[in-house]
Structure formats: structure tokens, C-alpha cells
Amino acid sequence: MKIVKSLVNEQLLRAEADMRAGTPEDVVSHAEGYLLLLETYVNRLRDLKGIPRVADAGQSPFARELVEQIRGAIRAAIENATSERNRIESLLDSFTRVSGWNAVETFNLLQYRNACDWELIGTQVRTASRGANMSVTDAVLEAKRLRREAYFDSRKAA
């Protein structure tokens, strides 16, 4: 029963649903919580003790098959959770680790303020065609917001 409870983690499923149903304002906190739960889940799966090896299963072919299925299910759960953890880490990084260059890239990609010629000049991010400019700090904050909103817009479209 311990194995089944470890494989089906309702708290983890709830955290994933919360993150998906969240808003651009709270997605970072939901993603951080989800990531923490994923870490705990993977570690708990890796720490499962008492799973017999095939050789320990006795001579019964049924017992050997059952042990292999259990071990395979645990292995698959670890692989899936690790993949999801990597995806969420990457998503979280895209929301939180934005440089001036990344802000310019985001602005140009999303045609922020109807301009696609944003550039980083010293401590300013500006566009020549529209005459708009802002500090790198403001540009980074705005790019983070735009990325979070784009994430939710793409989820709605899918």
C-alpha cells in the first residue's frame, strides 16, 4: 500500500492544477510550490525501500512478474516526475531570470508597444521608431510580466 500511495500523490496533482488555473500574478509562487513538491516526490520514490529484487521473489513466475511491474512503475514515475520537474524549472527560470538582453528579445518578439526594433543601449532599453525608452530595471520587470501573460495566453489558445 505504501507503494501505491507514493505513486499517486494527490497533493502534487492539486499543486499542478493550482498552477495551471492560476493567474500571471501568482504563477511564480504556484510554480515554486509545485517544484518543491516534485522534488519531495522524486526523493520519496527513490527512497522506497523493501522492494524485492527479482531474485528475491522466490521461484514463482507470478511473484517475479509482479516485482518487475512494481519496479517498472516506480522507475516510470521517477522519469515522469523528473521530466516535469525539469520543465517547471525551465518555465520558472523564464519568468524570473530575465536580463536586459532577454527583455529586448521579449519586447521584439511580442512587438511590445507596436515596435520590433527594441535595443539595449547602456542602461536604457529603447526603440528608435517609436521613441520609447525605459531603464533596464523597468524593462526587465515588464518583460517578466509579459512572459507570464504570454504563457497564460498560449495555454488558453491550446
C-alpha cell at 42: 522524486
Planar angle of CA 7, 12, 14, nearest 5 degrees: 130
**Model pLDDT for residues 86-124, shown as the tens digit of each residue:** 999 999 999 999 999 999 999 999 999 999 999 999 999
Cα 5 from Cα 9, distance rounded (Å): 7
Read off φ and ψ for residue 47, nearest 5 degrees: -85, 0
**Model pLDDT for residues 14-59, shown as the tens digit of each residue:** 999 998 888 999 999 999 999 999 999 999 888 876 566 656 545 6
Higher pLDDT, 80 or 70: 80
Cα 27 from Cα 4, distance rounded (Å): 30
pLDDT of residue 31: 95
pLDDT of residue 9: 82
pLDDT of residue 1: 45
pLDDT of residue 63 exceeding 70, the answer is yes
Higher pLDDT, 137 or 71: 137
pLDDT of residue 65: 83
| Ordered DSSP codes for 90-145 | HHHHHHH---HHHHHHHHHHHTGGG-S-EEEETTEEEETTT--EEEHHHHHHHHHH
What's the average model confidence in pLDDT over 64-80?
Answer: 85
Higher pLDDT, 63 or 78: 78
Q: What predicted TM-score, i.e. pTM, was given to this entire model?
A: 0.81
C-alpha dihedral over 62, 67, 68, 74, to 10 degrees? 150
pLDDT of residue 80: 94
Cα 57 from Cα 63, distance rounded (Å): 6
pLDDT of residue 52: 63
**Confidence label for 74 from pLDDT (cuts 50, 70 and 90):** confident
What's the average model confidence in pLDDT over 1-13?
Answer: 69
Cα 102 from Cα 26, distance rounded (Å): 21
pLDDT of residue 8: 66
